[in-house]
Structure 1
Amino acid sequence: MLYYLFNYLDQLDFPGAGMFKYVSFRSGLALILSLFISTAIGRKIIDRLQYLQIGETIRNLGLEGEYSKKGTPTMGGIIIIIAILIPTLLCARLSNIYVLLMLVTTLWLGALGFADDYIKVFRKNKEGMHGRFKIVGQVGLGLIVGLVLFLSPDVVIKENMEVRHDNVIETVKFHTLEKKSTKTTIPFVKNNNFDYAMLVDWAGKYKQEAAWIVFVAMVIFVVTAVSNGANLTDGLDGLAAGTSAIIGVALGILAYMSSHFQFASFLNIMFIPGAEELTVFASAFIGATIGFLWYNAYPAQVFMGDTGSLTLGGIIAVFAIIIRKELLIPILCGIFLVESLSVIMQTFYFKYTKKKYGEGRRIFKMAPLHHHFQKAGNAGIQALIQKPLNKVPESKIVVRFWLIGIILAVITIVTLKMR
């Protein structure tokens, strides 16, 4: 909104109004606003949640300090959502299709997570929303995002072309025409591009249509997987928020580079017109998650609940898809990936051994993975992996996961030049 106001004032030669033309200025402003909003309103929302007795229900997992968390206000994801929406609405160009998709994603998954938390807190159902309804909500968002990217005339790219001499890349140029494409960025290969149409060569003259079906299916899968991964990661104070902030920084950098001719040429990735506005959203996202850590860092004064975790995961997934970096998610979101895999492996192995031996056995002392480090190795749990033998303090686990997240974010960007 402020973008349009100051654009009008700039036409009237109002001093300083031209600053709002620059994405860098609006991104910095969005970051500052989101930090201020999340810290300023956070205390009031926490007090309100306490007044309404919206506290966390604790299951007996045998973890040190878990009962000290009982009654801590949950549904704090509301703070993150507000701190993302307001700066984005004020600083971004709202006519941009990518910004609109990110706003829809934030509201959609925020509402889905809120409904889940509402059932847990007010209806006293510890399981929350039935899994199938949560999946339907995530698939629905994936379908909307995929179809918009397919149908909208504003969603176009300029494909990168390598100019070689003696098999050495001299420069990278871009097609002069903008076009719709099912191509995405993939690391470790020479031209950094992968076309989903390659998976449907058998479709003949309907190859492009079939490629978009595959693309939409990939969108649905990525949205569902990453939002659930973030949800599973939200188990320790500050873990999900801090990890998401780190991922947000990497995505913001990639969005800016994808929308800048020189940087896109340097990385040999496709040029995406309009993606620069996503840096404004990314800045608001980073500020909101860091500001939330003011209250969520150990010992947490508030938990984000599914209201926050599903939203953060969905935002990361859709953002990566828009800038055609969804195939980098296994690296960038490696923390989410291993957390999800630990649960899948644990569940599968437990069921398999129970069927085979009549007694369920475990791979980890506890899943998701972050709880594995909270359990002592001699805790009496029949697990294949007992190390570390001594339990690790919660705050140390979180910081170590953050450090791993930073390393993965750096690797994600570097891989684009490792071919």
Structure 2
Amino acid sequence: MERSKEFLSKKLISFFNSINIQIFILFGLILSTLISFDYYYKNSNLTIPFVITTLVSSIITLLGIPKLKKIKIKQIIREEGPKNHFLKKGTPTMGGIFFVPIGVIISNLIYFNKEDYKVILTLSFVIISFLLIGFIDDFLSLKKQLNTGLKFNQKINLQTFISLIFIIICASNNLLPNSIQIANEIFYIGNIIYPLGIFVLLAESNSTNLTDGLDGLLSGCSVLIFTGLAITILIENPNNNLTLAPLCIVMAGACMGFLFLNNYPAKIFMGDSGSLAIGAALGGIALLSDNLWSLLIMGGILAAESISVIIQVSIFKISKRLKGKGHKLFLMTPLHHHFELKGNNEIVIVGSFWLVTLLLVIINLIFFINT
């Protein structure tokens, strides 16, 4: 039994070690899916924006790496993290400043001068604003030479402030739905959409921030979730050119281009500037397109990462208060660190999380089509 487990483990490590092959398989899978949908839905036109954004994002990120090295923008590793992460020390970070603006710029070019262009401008505002919050956090972290930049309450306050402005802009332009769809049921929620919208942006951006802890983990999952959102929106509005599907697929392309350089061993990290912006983009798009339920399903890995931290902190505080000694459910959180400390190979963890995300995207699409 032990030998069979060891054999299976070696096989998994061998398979996932071919991570570059996996990335090209991922790229090929998404490309073939988009070509199929473009053929079936004549008005979709998703393939070309995805390919162009992937190419531009990859090139800009590649050119940016030497610049970051020159000005010594390098990752700070937290002392309490897994010890093997100290090998990553010195890797250029803040890569979000390269690939996120690419997605925003290309999406604005696609929608420019078209009806409801204000939707894209509003989403661009929240994405870039969260990028700037992440940039400040990354900058302060480098300045202090610590893994923490902004204090927790400072970061949350800034995120809440930007989210509030976003919701006010959306409300004043009638961009927010007054109902949410869960499965095949539609629930009218009225003004509850305002606090819900703020919560979604905070929850999603912090979930993506927590998920960004292993090479290629968040960027790979984000490619799949953005693509899943694009297809979901396209199925909802097959005859409408002015959906948010192109924005989703452009963001997927931006993450895909970055992933080619962020895969293990990463040549660059996205930093908070990338992870917070990705979360804001996912949350904002899902909110305005009324696809919060789909995002919850497809972003199951993001939710699990965030929930693992909440559970760990809660159990530790409660047990310390009751028994005088804090206890932990996980070896370390977020969840990917627990699997690391269990002895799993980083590449295997990342590949497995991608696979789970792919399955969740497929489940959502099957569920969505059948309702």
TM-score tier by shorter-chain length is: 0.7 to 0.9
The 5 Å alignment of 1:270-419 reads 275-276=242-243, 278-376=244-342, 391-417=343-369
Contact 1:98 1:274 in 2 (8 A): no
Shift of residue 331, structure 1, vs aligned partner: 1.3
In structure 2, C-alpha distance between the alignment counterparts of 1:252 and 1:104, rounded to whole Å: 20
2:143 equivalent in structure 1: 122
Task: Give 1:338 shift.
Answer: 0.7
* Largest Rg, 1 or 2: 1
**Structure 1: which 5+ residue stretches go unaligned?**
1-21, 156-179, 197-210, 262-272, 377-390
Contact 1:146 1:215 in 2 (8 A): no
- 5+ residue gaps, structure 2: 1-41
Show the 5 A alignment for 1:3-42: 24-25=44-45, 27-42=46-61
User: What does residue 182 of structure 2 align with?
Assistant: 186
Which residue in 2 is equivalent to 1:47?
66
Change (3 A) 1:145 1:254: farther
Structure 2 distance, partners of 1:366, 1:218, is 30
Match of 1:54, SS state, is coil
Query: What is the CA RMSD across the aligned residues, in angstroms?
Result: 1.9
Alpha-carbon offset, residue 87 of structure 1: 1.6
Distance 1:139 1:256 in 2: 30
1:67 matches 2:86: yes
Cα distance in structure 1, aligned partners of 2:50 and 2:62: 19
1:217 aligns with 2:217: no
Q: Distance in 2 between matches of 1:56 and 1:76?
A: 11
- Secondary structure of residue in 2 paired with 1:65: helix
Alpha-carbon shift at residue 373 of structure 1 (Å): 0.6
Query: Is 1:236 the equivalent of 2:225?
Result: no
Report the residue type matching 2:310 in the other structure. I
Per-residue CA deviation, residues 331-381 of structure 1 (Å, 9 max, x unaligned), is 1211111101100110111111222222211001111000001113xxxxx
Distance 1:149 1:62, change over 3 A: closer
TM-superposed deviation, 1:181: 4.9
Does structure 2 retain, via aligned residues, the 8 Å contact 1:109–1:310? Answer: yes
Count of residue pairs the alignment pairs up = 328
Instruction: State the shift of 1:330 in Å.
Output: 2.5
Q: TM-score, normalised by structure 1?
A: 0.74
Match of 2:233 in 1: 255
Aligned mates of 1:365, 1:321 — CA distance in 2: 34
Moved over 4 A (4+): none
1:320 and 1:279 map into 2 onto residues whose CA distance is 11
Call closer, same or farther: CA 1:221–1:303 in 2, change over 3 Å.
Answer: same
Separation of aligned partners in 2, 1:182 and 1:416: 20
TM-score, normalised via structure 2 length: 0.83
Q: Structure 1 369/219 Cα, relative in aligned 2: closer, same or farther at 3 Å?
A: same
Higher RCO (C-alpha under 8 Å, 6+ residues apart): 2
What is the Cα deviation at residue 253 of structure 1? 1.0
Query: Secondary structure of the residue that 2:149 maps to in structure 1?
Result: coil
CA apart distance, 1:311: 0.4
Deviation at 1:124? 2.8
Deviations 1:370-409 (A, max 9, x none): 0001113xxxxxxxxxxxxxx1100000000000001111
Distance in 1 (CA, whole Å) between partners of 2:241 and 2:197 is 20
- 1:90 & 1:182 partners in 2: Cα distance? 29
Distance 1:240 1:405 in 2: 11
- Looking at secondary structure, tell me which structure has more helix per residue: 2
- Percent identity, aligned pairs only, is 31
1:272-307 Cα shifts (integer Å, max 9, x gaps): x7752x222112111111110111000001110000
Residues 1:97 and 2:118 are matched in the alignment: yes
Secondary structure at the aligned position of 1:24 is classed as: coil
Maintained 8 Å contact 1:76/1:308: yes
CA distance in 2, matches of 1:254, 1:130: 37
